[in-house]
Amino acid sequence: MKNRRFYLVGIAIALVIAGFFSFYASSSPDGLEKVAIDLGFIDSAQESAVAGSALADYGVSGIENERLSVGIAGVIGVIATGLVMYLFIRLIGKKKN
């Protein structure tokens, strides 16, 4: 029971950070984009195959409010990552038994 509370608090904190604070993350280019700018080949970059997907560019397509769009994308990312890790841990746990 003690561990459950610890995990729930951790998940809640991650959701708050992803949902609220992610909007305030740096808008500077990420590492690869920065290197492409510095080396002068950013103009030859092509759009990703998933550029038109629902979660492209750190937001949710179709939501006009940028703050809300980024927050929801962050929450979806936390939930998806949590589910993948949960399934991975369950799979590993079954193999050891």
Smallest Cα–Cα separation from 15: which of 67, 75, 92?
Answer: 75
| 38 neighbors 28 (Cβ within 8 angstroms) | no
Domain boundaries, position 21: 2-96
| 15 neighbors 78 (Cβ within 8 angstroms) | yes
Q: Mean pLDDT for the chain?
A: 88
Q: What is the pLDDT of residue 82?
A: 93
Total number of domains constituting the chain: 1
Q: What is the pLDDT of residue 9?
A: 93
pTM of structure? 0.75
pLDDT surpasses 80 at 26? no
- pLDDT tens profile 68-94: 999 999 999 999 999 999 999 999 987
